[in-house]
Amino acid sequence: MKKLLASILSLGLAVTLAGCGGTGGKKSDSAASNKQLIGVAMPTQSLQRWNQDGANMKSELESKGYKVELQYANNDVNTQTQQLENMITKGCKVLVIASIDGSALSDVLKKAADNGVKVVAYDRLIMKSPNVDYYATFDNFKVGVIQGQYIEKQLGLKDGKGPFNIELFGGSPDDNNATFFYNGAMSILQPYIDNGKLVVSSGQKDFTTIAIQGWDSAKAQARMDNLITANYAKGKKLDAVLSPNDSLAIGIVASLKNAGYGSADKPYPILTGQDCDKPNVIAMINKQQSMSIFKDTRTLATKVVEMVDSLLQGKEASVNDTKTYNNGSKVVPSFLCDPVYADSSNYKQILIDSGYYKEADLK
Ligand code: BGC
């Protein structure tokens, strides 16, 4: 962990913030002089991306003169709620929250509002609460579209090739992002399922059936095991698997490997992912996973720090979407950063040249 944090910090923040149009780096005088406390609540340390998100947020906020209370909640909703209550009690002026269950925070956010504490939803929308000031994320629908397009291209579906066998996975149902990823991917894949060029042999297609609670790798592995046993025995091969993110992809690769994929006559299927976590980039280099959406957490952190600054200065933050993210209580003004994909052909340029990873991280 220490090594990871050190390498993240050493990355510096000098990278071009193209995706989010951030300004980065400039000290906010009011914050610097007051040393205002900002709470940053992250869901878990078990996935690399959230460690990076937390570390980036902390260092960016501190470089602007804020004090930071950073907490991880081990993917436990009650722990996260308690952490948020403590942050309010300690006098945090803004809470930056990557929620675990997007619908479970209404009470604690009411308490925040009663205490004049502002709230920024980080990466995941917080649902069913009017007390969310801004939302910063990557364009979640587009994430799914890029995954769907990758499968479309690699299989040559546009050229009329097929039929191919595919299985579909969805993210955690309590995460609002998960349906956006699914809907984005299906906007590309559904027409090929309808015309028979993509065949989902299990018949499991709707989001609730394919969703993996808690984005859990082991659950994804178990589901892939069951799908293979029930549908891909006797020489029938899988050509593609839609996985919304890297934690599921890791479990899916493990299952495929156990089932004998990875040989010359039984290559791994096209397999998507998201986050460019190190083990997954290594899996891409080893041709076990085909691609992963790259969401540069540095650009997201910079955008969120801008929102924090604006909230504390009573100014409006710059947003680029005021329509899409209705949390059931209001449409939350949002800033959507641009996702891109990395695969074995471009990862050096996307991940190493940008300073996100060092070549040695990927061994
Ligand atoms: C994030 C993904 C992440 C997933 C699991 C989603 O809300 O947008 O980047 O892979 O959660 O942590």
Query: Token digits for 171?
Result: 């993210």
Looking only at the bridges linking them, the beta strands covering 340-343 and 94-97 are unpaired
Instruction: State the distance from the centre of ligand 1 to the C-alpha of 252, rounded, in angstroms.
Output: 16
CA-nearest residue, atom 9 of ligand 1: 275
Which residues have CB under 8 Å from 73's CB, separation 6+?
41, 42, 43, 44, 79, 80, 83, 100
Taking only the tens of pLDDT, the chain with its 363 residues reads 444 444 444 443 333 333 454 444 444 444 444 689 999 999 999 999 999 999 999 999 999 999 999 999 999 999 999 999 999 999 999 999 999 999 999 999 999 999 999 999 999 999 999 999 999 999 999 999 999 999 999 999 999 999 999 999 999 999 999 999 999 999 999 999 999 999 999 999 999 999 999 999 999 999 999 999 999 988 899 999 999 999 999 999 999 999 999 999 999 999 999 999 999 999 999 999 999 999 999 999 999 999 999 999 999 999 999 999 999 999 999 999 999 999 999 999 999 999 999 999 998
Burial class (CB in 10 A: 0-12, 13-18, 19+), 82: middle
Contact 64, 52 (CB under 8 A): no
User: Strand pairing of 94-97 and 134-138?
Assistant: unpaired
Distance 257 CA to ligand 1 centre (A): 24
Closest atom of ligand 1 to 295 CA is 9
Pocket test for ligand 1, best of 177, 252, 281 (most atoms within 8 A of CB): 177
**pLDDT of amino acid 177:** 98
- Give me ligand 1 centre to Cα 199, in Å: 27
* The ligand 1 atom nearest the CA atom of 245: 10
Ligand 1 center to 160 CA (angstroms): 33
Mutate to test the pocket of ligand 1, among 215, 243, 297 (most ligand atoms within 8 A of CB): 215
Say what the pLDDT of residue 234 is. Answer: 82
Q: Per CATH, which fold does 140-295 belong to?
A: Rossmann fold (3.40.50)
The protein residue with its alpha carbon nearest to ligand 1, atom 3, reads 245
DSSP string spanning 25-63?
SPPPHHHHHHT-EEEEEES-SSSHHHHHHHHHHHHHHHH
pTM: 0.91
Residue 237: per-residue pLDDT: 94
User: Which of 53, 72, 97, 123 has the most ligand 1 atoms within 8 A of CB, as the residue to mutate?
Assistant: 123
**pLDDT score, position 235:** 85
**Which amino acid appears at position 154 of this protein?**
Q
Amino acid in position 171: G
250 alpha carbon to ligand 1 midpoint, in Å?
Answer: 14
For the chain, the distance separating the N- and C-terminal CA atoms, rounded to the nearest angstrom, is 17
**CATH number given to 33-132+296-337:** 3.40.50.2300
Count of C-beta atoms within a 10 Å radius of residue 76 = 14
- Tell me which H or E stretch contains 68: strand 67-72
Phi–psi pair at 102, nearest 5 degrees:
-60, -20
| Amino acid at residue number 218 | A
**C-alpha 323 to ligand 1 mean position (Å):** 22
Q: Which residues line ligand 1 (CB under 6 A)?
A: 47, 49, 123-124, 175, 177, 215, 245, 247, 274-275, 295
- Ranges for all domains in the chain classified under CATH 3.40.50.2300: 33-132+296-337, 140-295
Question: What phi and psi values does residue 178 have, to the nearest 5 degrees?
Answer: -60, -40
Query: What pLDDT sits at residue 34?
Result: 62
Contact 139, 337 (CB under 8 A): yes
How many Å lie between the centroid of ligand 1 and the Cα of residue 340?
15
Pocket test for ligand 1, best of 245, 274, 292, 294 (most atoms within 8 A of CB): 245
270 Cα–ligand 1 center, Å: 20
Encoding tokens for residue 73? 């909640």
Q: Which atom of ligand 1 is nearest to the CA of 44?
A: 12
